């Protein structure tokens, strides 16, 4: 795997080997872009980034690849209220990078936060146990968002 393609060399190759999933250059490139940022990129953002290093990429491929990664549980897809989906790689060291979002309803700015994760994990664990039992529902992940006004938008109210 060429240097600069997302994570420790071979990591993604190993991640996908054996599955009937090929780690092609377009796929590598998308993963690479996602792995290099903590921003919340839209499909088009990602397309433009990949395009810089791999200009023959097609926008439809980006959408296809993102959907593939979401299905595989490698990427999370978010809706922050502007009308495009935003994507974020789920980091390996989940515990380290587990976080949620503050979303400004006005400017749509998004702030990652990791505070209170311990309290959260405790609360979530209990809730997940109870809910999955009661509703016979297999819980795979969760979303927590606080919504309101960011410091900037609070001024201009």
Partner DNA sequence: GTTTTTAATGAGAATAATTATCATTACCAA
Partner DNA sequence: TTGGTAATGATAATTATTCTCATTAAAAAC
Cα separation of 78 and 86, whole Å? Answer: 5
Q: How far is it, in rounded angstroms, from Cα 24 to Cα 59?
A: 16
The reply on whether position 98 binds a second copy by CB under 8 A is no
Of residues 52 through 111, those in contact with DNA by CB under 7 A are: 54, 56-61, 63-65, 67, 83-85
By CB under 8 A, residue 156 contacts a second copy:
no
How crowded is residue 110: how many other Cβ atoms within 10 Å of its Cβ? Answer: 19
Give the alpha-carbon dihedral of 14, 18, 22, 25, to 10 degrees.
10
Q: How many residues bind DNA (CB under 7 A)?
A: 25
Query: How far apart (Å, rounded) are the C-alpha atoms in residues 53 and 2?
Result: 12
Binds Zn ion by CB under 5 A, chosen from 51, 74, 106, 124:
106
Q: Is 27 in the site for DNA (CB under 7 A)?
A: yes
114 binds a second copy (CB under 8 A): no
CA distance 142 to 47: 27
By CB under 5 A, residue 124 contacts Zn ion: no
The helix or strand, by DSSP H or E, that contains position 53, with its residue range, turns out to be helix 43-53
Q: Residue numbers of the site for a second copy (CB under 8 A)?
A: 77, 79, 81, 102, 104-105, 111, 113, 115-116, 119-120, 123, 126-128, 130-132, 134-151, 154
Q: Which residues bind Zn ion (CB under 5 A)?
A: 104, 106-107, 109, 150, 153
Contact footprint for DNA (CB under 7 A)? 20-27, 42-44, 54, 56-61, 63-65, 67, 83-85
């Amino acid at each position: 795997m060429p240097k600069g393609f997302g994570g420790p060399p071979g990591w993604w190759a190993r991640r996908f080997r054996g599955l009937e999933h090929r780690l092609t250059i377009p796929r590598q490139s998308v993963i690479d872009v996602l792995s290099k940022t903590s921003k919340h990129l839209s499909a088009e953002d990602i397309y433009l980034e990949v395009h810089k290093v791999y200009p023959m990429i097609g926008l439809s491929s980006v959408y296809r690849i993102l959907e593939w990664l979401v299905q595989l549980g490698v990427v999370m897809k978010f809706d922050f209220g502007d009308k495009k989906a935003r994507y974020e790689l789920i980091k390996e060291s989940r515990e380290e990078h587990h976080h949620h979002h503050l979303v400004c309803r006005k400017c749509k700015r998004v702030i990652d936060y990791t505070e209170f994760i311990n309290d959260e994990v405790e609360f979530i664990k209990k809730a997940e146990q109870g809910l999955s039992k009661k509703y016979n529902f297999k819980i795979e992940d969760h979303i927590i968002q606080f919504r309101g006004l960011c410091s900037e938008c609070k001024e201009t109210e």
